[in-house]
Amino acid sequence: MADFLTSQTEDFSRWYTEIVQKADLADYSPVRGCMVIKPYGYTLWERIRDELDQRFKETGHVNAYFPLFIPMSFLEKESDHIEGFSPELAVVTHGGGSELEEPLVVRPTSETIIGHMYAKWIQSYRDLPLLINQWANVVRWEMRTRLFLRTTEFLWQEGHTAHATKKEAEEETLRILDLYTDFAMNEAAIPVLAGRKSDSEKFAGAVDSYTIEAMMKDGRALQAGTSHFLGRNFAEAFDIQFLDENNARQYVWTTSWGISTRMVGAVVMTHGDDQGLVLPPRLAPIQVVIVPIWRKDEERSAVLEVAQQIQQRLNGLVRVELDSREEVSPGWKFNDWEMRGVPVRIEIGPRDIAKQNVMLARRDMPGREGKTLIPMAELETQIPTLLETVQAAIYKKALDFRDSHLQEVDTYAEFREALEIGFVRAWWAGSTEDEAAIKDETKATLRCIPVDQPGGTGTCVYTGKPATEMAIFGKAY
């Protein structure tokens, strides 16, 4: 373990806070609850953003941008929405030295302002579906904050779509849920559980909310992305109507969905270890780092020259960096790049040059076990293959951890005991009041009712009533 990093087993929360700062992902802002995302952390967010953006565009969505400020009256049009967000609102009452005629809300989310614009843009069935996404910042006045996981201001994407039929909107909601699931598993290497939120946990103003839930290394749940079927709630509040093919006026059906910079925290807490970050290669800002090694001054130029040649060969094939710093030792560099989670390290010294070999070191397998000596001529073929191997290994390790910390139970006594380890899966037929009671008794919440159900029936773990669905419970961030 790095001697300046708290062990995960000693204090996971402290480990997380330390690694986010020591790996140069983010730092605290002078404004309480806000963060400064540093270049390395922002590049990781850019990788997440770019991968998602490509998926959105492949499914027909386009990007736009909507204002940061929203008239207070807009939020008041949808009663459930304003009630759900009112404790988190940041409100501007003065501007330009004068009191504003109407207070402006710094957007906590954009359903209302977008609903207002959609009412202007949508007139006919020919205008539908309208599939828009925006990349933006939002503000929610959080009382308890933690870098990336829960901050007053954060970055995200929020998709907002309008459809002619309920069926189309519901299909869109689940399409995005599948898209998020695919991204989490295949890019972030996080084995998420996809499912529907309970009524007490769903988005304010939604008919149905869906989520991808991830398990962190301390067994806690993190909501990593959500997709909402809004029905006609916002359409009716903002009078978003269209003329259908029979020339009759209809309200549209809408959806909204989002993933935020919380995903950075999810990657850190799913894969990191006591040496620092462990980044999945497909998202890592730097996939390969080259560390030249020499002991004598006369060896320096020859080693650096070969290292530069290797960098040139790999440029365009992978995201590669050459660490040519001379003020620190190779060992210090190894620790530094391990802290930053770079998936593969190439070590090259005079002996390697003489034998035309290089040493490859895997970040996910520290020590001798993760080292392989390969011919220098095979770099272009072996490096991409190794990165895919690391990606798969990281995912499998996370999946094995989750599955070993997810227990299916029959009784409430087993339920309470299993929550101390991780997630619990159980038959559920409880009410909103039953959920509240469980939260009060155990501090656990119903994370989701999985899309994939076993079928059949069972007995509710809390009420003893007949149940047709199983639910996932866990203690969450």
How do residues 107-151 score in pLDDT, each as one tens digit? 999 999 999 999 999 999 999 999 999 999 999 988 788 999 999
List the domain range (segments joined by +) for residue 292. Answer: 288-386
Same domain, 193 and 239: yes
Instruction: Give tens-digit pLDDT for 327-376.
Output: 999 999 999 999 999 999 999 999 999 999 999 999 999 888 899 999 99
Q: 144 — phi, psi (to 5°)? A: -120, 115
Q: Which of 111-115, 187-191, 286-290, 469-473 has the lowest mean pLDDT?
A: 111-115
Q: How far apart are CA 239 and CA 44, in angstroms?
A: 40
Same domain, 201 and 336: no
Residue 469 to residues 192, 269, 349: CA-CA distances in angstroms? Answer: 19, 30, 60
- Alpha-carbon torsion (88, 76, 102, 121), positive or negative: positive
- Rounded to an integer, the average pLDDT of 269-281 is 97
Q: What is the pTM of this model?
A: 0.95
Instruction: Give tens-digit pLDDT for 234-263.
Output: 999 999 999 999 999 999 999 999 999 999
What's the number of domains the chain is made of?
3
Same domain, 100 and 172: yes
Q: Using a pLDDT cut of 70, give the percent of the chain over it.
A: 98
Residue 213 to residues 210, 348, 402, 475: CA-CA distances in angstroms? Answer: 10, 42, 11, 11
- Rounded to an integer, the average pLDDT of 455-467 is 97
Mark 279-289 as b/e (b = at least 16 C-beta within 10 Å). bbbbbbbbbbb
- 303 in a structural domain: yes
**What pLDDT, on a 0 to 100 scale, did the predictor assign at position 86?**
76
The tokens for 364 are 């996910």
Local confidence band at 81 (pLDDT 50, 70, 90 cut-offs): low
Q: Which of 271, 301, 327 is the last residue of a domain?
A: 271
Q: Are 282 and 267 in contact (CB under 8 A)?
A: no
Same domain, 311 and 237: no
DSSP secondary structure letter of residue 50: H
Local confidence band at 76 (pLDDT 50, 70, 90 cut-offs): confident
Q: How far apart are CA 154 and CA 149, in angstroms?
A: 9
**What pLDDT, on a 0 to 100 scale, did the predictor assign at position 1?**
44
The residues that bridge with 130 in the sheet, in sequence order, are: 162
Local confidence band at 61 (pLDDT 50, 70, 90 cut-offs): very high
**What pLDDT, on a 0 to 100 scale, did the predictor assign at position 82?**
63
The enclosing domain of 218 has a CATH number of: 3.30.930.10
Q: How far apart are CA 348 and CA 294, in angstroms?
A: 9
Q: Using a pLDDT cut of 90, give the percent of the chain over it.
A: 92
